[in-house]
A and B are shown apart, each in its own frame.
Chain A
Amino acid sequence: MTFEKFIFYVFAAILVFAAVRVITVRNPVHAALHLVLAFFTTAGLWLLLEAEFLAITLVLVYVGAVMVLFLFVVMMLDINVAPLKEGFARYLPVALPVAILMLVEMLLVVGSHYFSDERMPAPPRHGEDYSNTRELGSVLYTDYVYPFEIAAVILLVAIVAAIALTLRRRPDTKYLNPADQIKVRREDRVRVVKMDAESRD
């Protein structure tokens, strides 16, 4: 077993463990943290595929931003676990066939028929001057420039929609205008009153 294979199996084992824990663990915060671990080990596996740009982007976007916001929300909510578990028996007759169907579908596609060693040999290792970032960029901005631009526009629309959904008037919110605050001078707030000292009685 080569060293690389050894690393692959370690990462794969951690990934499977983390992924299983995401859905089995009771505490939602723990589930989110296991999802973070799953993303991180996935990034490690992608590094073995020489896809360092995608691996680091996965950490940057999902671990560094998405999951932070996710945890932010999950920690604020006081989720009661018991009602979540109640529906388990009720949904089982529907869920079980769906799960089996998905399993069969995946077995058919991912099975050895299409992904055996003869059909999908391991890709050759690239030389030291190979840059995944450069390769990705050159393909993304030439061959796939239209799908890329369309995806960008869709994301922009999603951002605008998300902001528009939350942009509503809240009359109870106290709002400070920083420009007004900066303009405030001493004379606006302080009044010095000159008066004679008064006697005690």
Chain B
Amino acid sequence: MMEAIKEVSWILFLIGGIVTPLMLCVAYLTFAERKIIGAIQVRIGPNRVGPGGWLQPIADAVKLLFKEIILPTHSNRFLFVIAPILSIGPALAAWAVIPFDNGMVLADIDAGLLYVLALTSVGVYGVIIAGWASNSKYAFLGAMRSAAQIVAYEIAMGFALVGVLMAGGSLNLNDIVLAQSGSILHWFWLPLLPLFLIYFISGVAETNRAPFDVAEGESEIVAGFHVEYSGMAFAVFFLAEYANMILISALAALLFMGGWLSPFQPLPVIGEPSIIWFLAKTAVFLFFFLWFRATFPRYRYDQIMRLGWKVFIPITIVWLLVEGAAIVAGVGPWFD
């Protein structure tokens, strides 16, 4: 028992070591979003709080902490309070299997990819329960939209990940990255290009980000599933959304872009694998998220459903067959 307590406290320490930087990233991702979208729209963005606006996320957090949390009448109190927690829990728990560098991972489990897929699919409960417990029509509509959307895109995403595990020959994220070593042409983005694109677009849809943010849909259903939430409860939904964005970006970097492997791999010094490469790739994908939001108008709901079911799923199935044939034929340099 003593041994177990010691081990659990060490794991808790490691969790703190992952979650604290992650939360800081989330805070400054909101700042980056406002600055970048500001720049794209030829505005300045937040620049008042602190030098150059750098304390803006802190000010936002303090403001949200001190706001009142309002419980709507006839809402289901227990579910109303637990919904944001169910939303952020999976978003953080998925980081347990993310390797930041070779072997630098909290839980080096063999079914890592499956674990990530399972947890991202559990995240939808926060949205559904929030929508139902709020006892509000707008929130409920948002929850229904989100549920249908996430179920649709999860299938495409799952198929894309099946392609990755076929190419990598493992469900362990560490092994998948190591299977991509060689050069930038050995990374899985090239043989799995359609799956890569589908994975990332499905990731945008799964995180309810623009242009797939119909669950919020300000112009149609006010703020969707979190219309009744205020103060810290709202902030937790916000944190979950951004933590999910970082997770999807990190996974795209790991699964298709060689994780911590260097793009100049055969060369000395700059060809060395390093955590810096992983963070840089994740940052590039995060920039795509913000760029999408500033560029594309919101998809119409039936178009989202059509894209998920009638376009993405057939493409992934066809590409899995192509990939299977390539593996049997031993097409180099990936499958020999």
Contact = CB atoms under 8 A, between A and B. Distances in A.
A56 B4 contact: no
Interface string B131-159: 01000000010011001101100100000
Interface in A62-96: 63-65, 68-69, 71-72, 75-76
Interface string B113-137: 0110111011011001100100000
Nearest to B8: A3
B103 to A, nearest CB: 14
B302 interface: yes
Contacts, number: 72
Contacts of B171: 133
A76 B117 CA distance: 27
Contact of A178 (B115, B121, B303): B303
Interface string A1-27: 111000000000000000000000000
A134 B110 CA distance: 9
A150 to B, nearest CB: 21
Interface string B28-69: 000000000000000000000000000000000000000000
B154 A65 contact: yes
Contacts of B144: 72, 75-76
Interface in B90-116: 109-111, 114-115
B151 A3 contact: no
B129 A2 contact: no
B117 A60 contact: yes
Contact of B125 (A3, A36, A56, A133): A36
Contacts of A63: 118, 121-122
A195 interface: no
B306 interface: yes
A132 interface: yes
Interface string A172-197: 00001010000000000000000000
A69 B117 CA distance: 17
Interface string B1-25: 1001000000000000000000000
Contacts of B125: 36, 68
Q: Is the interface of A mostly helix, strand, loop or mixed?
A: helix
Interface residues of B, number: 30
A33 B129 contact: yes
Interface string B219-230: 000000000000
Contact of A65 (B109, B110, B121, B302): B121
Given A3-B1, A3-B4, A176-B302, A133 B110 contact: yes
Interface string A45-64: 00000001100110110011
A64 B79 CA distance: 18
B1 A2 contact: yes
A116 to B, nearest CB: 27
B110 A52 contact: yes
B129 to A, nearest CB: 7
Contact of B118 (A29, A59, A71): A59
Interface in B70-101: 79
A131 interface: yes
Nearest to A65: B151
Contacts of A131: 110
B121 A60 contact: yes
A178 B114 contact: no
A53 B147 CA distance: 25
A68 B115 CA distance: 18
Residue of B111, B143, B148 contacting most chain A CB atoms (<10 Å): B111
Contacts of B118: 56-57, 59-60, 63-64
A179 B117 CA distance: 33
Given A56-B115, A65-B151, A69-B151, 13 more contacts: A3-B1, A33-B79, A36-B125, A56-B118, A59-B122, A63-B118, A65-B121, A65-B154, A69-B147, A71-B147, A75-B128, A132-B111, A134-B110
Interface of A: 1-3, 29, 33, 36, 52-53, 56-57, 59-60, 63-65, 68-69, 71-72, 75-76, 131-134, 176, 178
5 contacts: A60-B117, A63-B122, A64-B124, A69-B147, A133-B171
Kindly list the 10 A-B residue pairs having the minimum CB-CB distance in the complex, ordered from nearest. A64-B121, A3-B4, A60-B118, A59-B118, A131-B110, A56-B114, A56-B118, A72-B147, A52-B111, A56-B111
Interface of B: 1, 4, 79, 109-111, 114-115, 117-119, 121-122, 124-125, 128-129, 132, 140, 143-144, 147-148, 150-151, 154, 171, 302-303, 306
